[in-house]
Each structure stands twice: as structure tokens, then as C-alpha cells.
């Protein structure tokens, strides 16, 4: 029985360890924010309070950008557009009715005459943000990488054009004025505090973990059941909500604004703040806003010219943006991950996990089932990688797939895992034919590892396994407990809080197996699991796989070039050559098969070996 270093009562109590840690981090940052606001309120004048208020509003907007871009790895250039939409929506909803009749004479009737309070308008804006986020994110996030980033830039231009063109609603390019200026220091600080807590907690939610996993490795994430589009859509919607909340604050902070206030300059400033601090963490967003605001306020004093140390400085228009650009370039050059790197504060370090030793839940036997390949073929531009292969794999068995390099083994495994669409034939799990979809196959009980290791290097060892466990466990607390159990089985529990990138090669191999087992699969597909391991590590892996098969009755299908491992571990061996099955049987039968000998040693050697064997049999 595996022993895990986490108290079951703690992991399943009021709050999972990850959320406790995130809450402590968020409250620490909120405390700093409120202390700065208090200092400005007590010791600063009106100008200082406006600077801190503006900083809190920008923090809310930048946190929205961090929720999406920091977790998904997709840089969004369009976040300023949603700040603008939030500002205009708030302006229309809160503008006094009498002023609205003169300033917006052609305003559609359903938008006129509301004159809501700020918080009532904010509630409406947040609902509107969810709708806008879903409508824009659903088509946009069918793209990924640089294509998605360019699409967000196009969205910024589209929204700006609509704001300028919609004169009846926005007054076009003219200033939109008459908005009550009811947002002050404490309102902005309160909303920014909520945004801080939300951004830090989102990182630890199922959506946050899934989004970060997909950013680390899309194929690896799909293999553990992550639906990348849904996860990224959730991050996008959350980011839009924060941006439009910032826009609502901005509207009643400024009182008057135009579409140009929410165009490239604002988008660039937000992005610079996030890059300077560190894109991948809420701490980076928080610190980046503070550092950038201080820098901007210092530089702004020289933008209008004047004398400094006896030197006369001319008026330097655009100096602020230029200094921001230089600061961003320097940070990217010297510290690509930002001033505060990739990690959060992690104040608690999940210390409770190492305090108590508890037994992991006993493993459950899977029900009898089968994984079937029916006349599978796969062609690549005329090259036949797999040719009309039909195989059945049962639970409570270990099957090895062997063959020369380039025989089509990995392609077959990819089709069995739903990672590659067959050119012909079908794959069924439990009798149900399934279309190629790696994350759906993973959720249906087919887990896998890869020939080239696909762990999530920028996530912790524990988070790597929790991503998978969360697909089958009812909540994060149970997922953490299950993940620690699998890490303990693999001897990796002491590395739980370390980034996976720090693990040695053999440890990363074991981490990938632990992650696959956390899915509680019926079938475990392993692509060269012992590659790069030494003899001791290979022996440990054989022992672990044998124990897993015995305890859980799962079906194990592995590709491996280590013949000693295959012959000792597998009770059935399938041999593939040139995309076709040439042998299928017990290790003893396969070793004597002339076709197998020919595939590995060549036909002439095979004939000689067969003749020698026949002579030996006759002599006997």
C-alpha cells in the first residue's frame, strides 16, 4: 500500500491545500494594496490619491490580461477593447437622464433613461462581459498560438472601429462626457482586491490547471483528458470580465473619454506592465503595475521639458511610451520571465502536506473490458505507416508491441489513444466506436505516455499529476490526495513542489507514468517507457508496472526496444513490420517465429537459423 504525505482529512476538508496557499498569497497582495491606499489617503494629497486610484484600475485590467495570457500562453493584444466596452456601457447606464437627452439624442430607447448607481451598473456590465466573452471567445479560440494573438489584435481594431462608427450610442470620435465621477480610491481598491483574489485562485482551479497544462504541452494535456478549447474559453471569459470591470471603474474615474483612450496606447501599457512583472503569475501582474506606475510618474515629470541639474530639457512627446518600451525590452532581454519570474508567492508552500502520513485509498480493480483496433490503416502522403491492423487488447493483461525502427508501432499507439485520425478502420473502447480525440479517449479510460517525454515543465510535479486526477476525481482535494498517492508509488513525493523541469530524465519518465495512472485508466499505453533509463531504473519500472497490473487489473500495452524487459514483463507480444502484424503470441512463440527473425536479422540469416533449428529438432 502506498503511503502519501498528506492528511486525508486536510485534503478533503474545508479547503484544498492549493486553494489555501493561493488564498494566503492573494490576501498578502491585497494587504499591500490596501496599505498603499491607506498611505495615500492619510499622507497623500488629491494628486497622489488619483495616481493610486488609477493604479488600482489598471491592476484590475492587467489581472484580466494575466488570467488569459498568463495561463494560456497566448498573448492578447485586444484586452483594451473590452476595457473600452465596459467604460461605454457604464457611461450609458449611469449618465443622468436630463444630460443624456442632450448628449445622446439618438440613443436607442432601450438604452435610455436608466441612470443606475455605479454598483448596479457594474453588475450589468459583468453579466454583459460574460456574454461578450462567450461570443468572442468561442470562434477566436479555435485558433492557437500566434494566430490567436493576431486575431485578438484584429478584435481590438474592430471594437475601436465600432465605437467610432456608433455615433448614436458612443458620440463617435468625440468625447463621451457627462459620466458621474463616483469612483474614488476605496472603490477602485476594493474591486482590484477582488480581482487579485480571483486571478490567484483561478490559477488553481480545474480550468486554470488545464489552461496552464495546454500552454506547456498541448498533446500532453490532451492525453490526460484536458479539453483545451473549453479551458481556454473559461480563461478568456474571466479575463474579459476583469477587463470590463476595469472599464466600468475607468468611466467613472475619468468622467469623459473617447475611443482613442482604449486603443493601442492602453493595450501597449497593459502588456508592458504584465511583461515587466511576469506574465505567468498574479504576483507578476501586481508587481508589474506598481513598478510601471512609479516609472511612468517619474518619467512624466520630464516629458514636458524643463531644467534638470542645470540642463535644459526640451518637450519630449511620447517619452513615457518610449521609456516603457525600453523597460519592456530590457526585461525580456535580461529576465524573459519578468522581474518576479514564473512562480507565485507560495507563502504556505502547502506545508500541511508533509506534516502527517496517511495511507492512500486502496486501488480499485477495473471491470473486464477491451480495446479494439478494427482494420486500422494510416497513410502519410502515399507512405503506409500502418496497414490494415486488427487487434484486441483485454484488461488484466500486459501486451508488448515490438518491431524494427519505422515499423509503425508509435503510429498504431497514437491511433489507439485517439491522438491520430486513422485513414481507414476504427478504434473502439468497451465496444463503443470512438472518433479520434485524445482528450475524449483519456476520459473514456485510455491513458498513455509518449516516446518523447511530455510532462508540463513549468508546472510543479504535483500539479502535473493533479491535472490528470482532476478529470476523474470529484474535487480538487480528492485530486491532490490521489496525485500524492501516485507520486508516492513512483518515489517522487519529495519533489511534489518542485517544477517538473528540474527532475532528472528517469524521474520525468516516472512522472509521466504517475500522471497517466492518476486517470484511473482501464488501459495504459506506454511508448518506450524505459528509454534512457539505467538497469536499476528499468527494473524498478518493471516492478511498478507488474504491481499496477496486479492491483488494478488494467490492460497495459507497451512499445519497447528493450527485449529483456519485454520478454520478462509481457505475456503477449505483437510484432509489427512495415505497418503489418507479422506475429502475435506468447514470448516463446514469437522468439521462434521465422517472420520475426527475418524482420530483425534479415531473410538470409532467418533461413539459416530456421535450418539449424530444424536440424537440431531432427537430431533430438
> Mean pLDDT over all residues of the chain?
91
Q: Is 82 within 8 Å of 167 (Cβ atoms)?
A: no
DSSP string of 128-183, one letter each residue: HHHHHHHHHHHHHTTS-HHHHHHHHHHHHHHHHHHHHH-HHHH-TTS-B-------
Alpha-helical (H) ranges within 490-562 are 505-517, 535-552
Query: Is 488's pLDDT higher than 70?
Result: yes
pLDDT interval class at 343 (50, 70, 90): confident
What distance in Å separates the CA atoms of residue 213 and residue 457, rounded to the nearest whole number?
Answer: 9
Least confident of 20-24, 297-301, 549-553: 297-301
Task: Return the C-alpha cell found at 240.
Answer: 474579459
Give 266-295 pLDDT, tens digit per residue.
Answer: 999 999 999 999 999 999 999 999 999 999
CB count within 10 Å of CB 608 equals 13
| Amino acid 354: pLDDT | 43
Task: Return the C-alpha cell found at 316.
Answer: 519630449
pLDDT interval class at 15 (50, 70, 90): confident
Strand 424-429, strand 397-402: pairing:
unpaired
Query: Which positions ≥6 away from 129 have C-beta within 8 Å?
Result: 82, 86, 237, 240, 241, 243, 244, 245
| 3-state secondary structure string across 72-107 | HCCCCCCHHHHHHHHHHHHHHHHCCHHHHHHHCCCC
Task: Return the C-alpha cell found at 460.
Answer: 510543479
Query: Is 357's pLDDT higher than 70?
Result: no
| Amino acid 355: pLDDT | 36
The CA distances from residue 40 to 54, 199, 532, 602, in Å, are 12, 25, 59, 83
Q: Is 20 within 8 Å of 348 (Cβ atoms)?
A: yes
Q: Is 255 helix (H, G, I), strand (E, B) or coil?
A: coil
| Amino acid 605: pLDDT | 54
Task: Return the C-alpha cell found at 198.
Answer: 480571483
The model's pTM is: 0.91
Task: Return the C-alpha cell found at 353.
Answer: 502536506
What distance in Å separates the CA atoms of residue 508 and residue 606, rounded to the nearest whole number?
Answer: 39
What distance in Å separates the CA atoms of residue 118 and residue 187, rounded to the nearest whole number?
Answer: 10
pLDDT interval class at 353 (50, 70, 90): very low
The residues pairing with 279 across neighbouring beta strands, listed in sequence order, are none
| Amino acid 609: pLDDT | 55
Strand 432-434, strand 370-380: pairing:
unpaired
Q: Is 433 within 8 Å of 426 (Cβ atoms)?
A: yes
| Amino acid 14: pLDDT | 57
| Amino acid 597: pLDDT | 87
Work out the percent of the chain whose per-residue pLDDT is above 90: 78
Mean pLDDT of 518-533: 94
Strand 580-585, strand 446-448: pairing:
unpaired
Mean pLDDT of 87-92: 98
CB count within 10 Å of CB 211 equals 31
Helix (H) or strand (E) holding 380: strand 370-380
Give me the half-sphere count of Cα atoms (radius 13 Å) on the Cβ side of residue 206: 17
| Amino acid 6: pLDDT | 43
Mean pLDDT of 520-545: 92
| 3-state secondary structure string across 170-231 | HCCCCCECCCCCCCCHHHHHHHHHHHHHHHHHHCCCHHHHHHHHHHHCHHHHHHCCCCHHHH
Query: Is 607's pLDDT higher than 70?
Result: no
Sheet of strand 424-429, all strands in order from the earlier edge strand to the far edge: 383-394, 370-380, 424-429, 432-434
What distance in Å separates the CA atoms of residue 252 and residue 178, rounded to the nearest whole number?
Answer: 10
Q: Is 520 within 8 Å of 473 (Cβ atoms)?
A: no
Query: Is 601's pLDDT higher than 70?
Result: no
Query: Is 620's pLDDT higher than 60?
Result: no
Helix (H) or strand (E) holding 46: helix 46-65
What distance in Å separates the CA atoms of residue 517 and residue 544, rounded to the nearest whole number?
Answer: 11
The CA distances from residue 193 to 31, 196, 252, 293, in Å, are 9, 5, 18, 17
Cα pseudo-dihedral 433, 407, 218, 515, rounded to 10:
80
Pick from 559, 541, 543: which is nearest to 551 by CA?
543
Pick from 253, 208, 191, 185: which is nearest to 30 by CA?
191
What distance in Å separates the CA atoms of residue 378 and residue 311, rounded to the nearest whole number?
Answer: 74
Main-chain dihedrals φ then ψ at residue 445, nearest 5 degrees: 110, 15
| Amino acid 8: pLDDT | 45
pLDDT interval class at 342 (50, 70, 90): confident
Q: Is 159 within 8 Å of 85 (Cβ atoms)?
A: yes
| Amino acid 382: pLDDT | 84
| Amino acid 303: pLDDT | 79
Query: Which positions ≥6 away from 51 have C-beta within 8 Å?
Result: 40, 293, 297
Main-chain dihedrals φ then ψ at residue 325, nearest 5 degrees: -65, -45
pLDDT interval class at 1 (50, 70, 90): very low
What distance in Å separates the CA atoms of residue 104 and residue 169, rounded to the nearest whole number?
Answer: 7
Give 68-81 pLDDT, tens digit per residue.
Answer: 999 999 999 999 99
CB burial class (10 A; 0-12, 13-18, 19+) of residue 543?
Answer: exposed
What distance in Å separates the CA atoms of residue 486 and residue 512, rounded to the nearest whole number?
Answer: 11
The residues pairing with 446 across neighbouring beta strands, listed in sequence order, are 523
Query: Is 604's pLDDT higher than 80?
Result: no
The CA distances from residue 291 to 49, 278, 338, 599, in Å, are 17, 12, 12, 65
Pick from 78, 90, 66, 92: which is nearest to 263 by CA?
78
Query: Is 350's pLDDT higher than 60?
Result: no
Q: Is 460 within 8 Å of 498 (Cβ atoms)?
A: yes
Pick from 591, 555, 556, 562: which is nearest to 575 by CA?
591
Main-chain dihedrals φ then ψ at residue 474, nearest 5 degrees: -70, -25
Please identify which residue in the block is written with the cell numbers 480563461. 235
Give 233-265 pLDDT, tens digit per residue.
Answer: 999 999 999 999 999 999 999 999 999 999 999
| Amino acid 598: pLDDT | 86
Give 259-271 pLDDT, tens digit per residue.
Answer: 999 999 999 999 9
The residues pairing with 405 across neighbouring beta strands, listed in sequence order, are none
Pick from 181, 12, 3, 5: which is nearest to 96 by CA?
181
Amino acid at each position: 500500500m502506498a503511503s502519501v504525505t498528506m492528511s486525508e482529512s486536510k485534503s478533503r476538508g474545508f479547503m484544498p491545500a492549493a486553494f489555501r496557499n493561493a488564498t494566503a498569497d492573494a490576501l498578502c497582495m491585497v494587504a499591500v494594496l490596501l496599505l498603499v491606499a491607506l498611505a495615500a489617503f492619510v499622507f497623500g494629497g488629491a494628486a497622489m490619491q488619483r495616481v493610486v486610484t488609477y493604479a488600482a484600475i489598471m491592476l484590475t485590467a492587467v489581472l484580466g490580461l494575466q488570467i488569459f495570457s498568463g495561463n494560456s500562453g497566448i498573448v492578447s493584444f485586444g484586452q483594451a477593447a473590452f476595457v473600452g466596452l465596459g467604460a461605454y456601457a457604464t457611461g450609458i447606464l449611469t449618465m443622468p437622464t436630463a444630460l443624456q437627452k442632450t448628449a445622446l439624442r439618438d440613443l436607442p430607447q432601450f438604452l435610455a433613461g436608466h441612470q443606475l448607481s455605479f454598483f448596479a451598473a457594474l453588475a450589468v456590465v459583468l453579466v454583459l462581459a460574460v456574454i461578450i466573452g462567450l461570443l468572442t471567445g468561442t470562434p477566436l479560440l479555435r485558433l492557437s498560438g500566434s494566430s490567436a494573438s493576431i486575431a485578438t489584435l484584429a478584435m481590438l481594431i474592430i471594437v475601436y472601429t465600432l465605437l467610432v462608427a456608433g455615433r448614436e450610442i458612443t458620440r463617435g470620435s468625440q468625447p463621451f462626457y457627462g459620466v458621474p465621477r463616483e469612483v474614488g480610491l476605496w472603490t477602485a481598491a476594493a474591486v482590484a482586491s477582488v480581482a487579485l483574489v480571483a486571478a490567484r485562485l483561478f490559477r488553481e482551479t480545474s480550468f486554470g490547471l488545464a489552461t496552464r497544462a495546454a500552454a506547456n504541452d498541448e498533446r500532453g494535456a490532451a492525453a490526460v483528458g484536458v479539453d483545451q478549447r473549453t479551458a481556454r474559453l473559461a480563461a478568456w471569459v474571466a479575463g474579459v470580465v476583469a477587463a470590463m470591470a476595469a472599464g466600468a471603474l475607468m468611466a467613472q474615474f475619468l468622467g469623459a473619454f473617447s475611443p482613442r483612450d482604449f486603443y493601442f496606447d492602453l493595450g501597449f501599457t497593459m502588456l508592458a506592465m504584465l511583461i515587466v512583472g511576469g506574465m505567468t503569475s498574479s504576483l507578476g501582474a501586481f508587481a508589474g503595475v506598481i513598478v510601471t506606475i512609479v516609472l511612468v510618474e517619474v518619467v512624466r515629470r520630464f516629458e514636458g521639458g524643463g531644467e534638470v541639474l542645470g540642463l535644459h530639457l526640451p518637450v519630449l512627446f511620447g517619452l513615457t511610451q518610449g521609456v516603457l518600451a525600453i523597460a519592456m525590452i530590457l526585461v525580456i532581454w535580461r529576465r524573459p520571465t519578468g522581474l518576479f519570474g514564473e512562480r507565485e508567492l507560495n507563502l504556505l508552500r502547502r506545508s500541511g502536506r508533509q506534516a502527517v502520513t496517511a495511507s492512500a485509498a486502496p486501488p480499485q480493480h477495473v471491470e473486464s473490458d477491451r480495446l479494439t483496433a478494427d482494420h486500422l490503416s494510416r497513410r502519410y502522403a502515399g507512405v503506409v505507416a500502418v496497414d490494415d491492423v486488427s487487434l484486441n487488447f483485454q484488461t488484466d493483461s500486459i501486451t508488448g508491441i515490438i518491431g524494427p525502427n519505422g515499423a509503425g508501432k508509435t503510429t498504431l499507439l497514437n491511433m489507439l489513444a485517439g491522438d491520430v485520425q486513422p485513414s481507414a478502420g476504427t478504434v473502439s473502447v468497451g465496444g463503443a466506436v470512438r472518433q479520434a480525440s485524445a482528450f475524449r479517449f483519456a476520459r473514456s479510460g485510455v491513458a498513455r505516455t509518449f516516446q518523447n517525454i511530455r510532462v508540463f515543465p513549468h508546472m510543479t510535479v504535483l500539479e502535473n499529476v493533479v491535472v490528470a486526477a482532476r478529470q476523474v476525481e470529484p474535487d480538487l482535494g480528492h485530486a491532490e490526495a490521489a496525485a500524492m498517492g501516485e507520486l508516492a508509488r513512483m518515489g517522487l513525493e519529495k519533489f511534489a513542489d518542485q517544477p517538473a523541469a528540474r527532475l532528472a530524465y528517469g524521474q520525468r519518465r516516472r512522472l509521466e507514468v504517475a500522471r497517466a495512472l492518476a486517470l484511473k485508466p482501464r488501459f495504459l499505453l506506454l511508448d518506450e517507457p524505459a528509454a534512457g533509463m539505467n538497469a536499476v531504473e528499468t527494473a524498478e519500472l518493471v516492478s511498478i508496472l507488474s504491481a499496477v497490473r496486479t492491483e488494478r487489473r488494467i490492460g497495459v500495452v507497451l512499445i519497447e526496444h528493450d527485449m529483456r524487459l519485454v520478454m520478462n514483463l509481457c505475456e503477449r507480444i505483437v510484432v509489427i513490420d512495415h505497418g503489418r502484424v507479422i506475429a502475435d503470441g506468447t514470448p516463446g512463440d514469437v522468439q521462434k517465429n521465422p517472420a520475426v527473425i527475418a524482420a530483425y536479422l534479415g531473410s538470409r540469416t532467418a533461413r539459416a537459423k530456421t535450418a539449424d533449428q530444424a536440424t537440431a529438432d531432427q537430431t533430438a
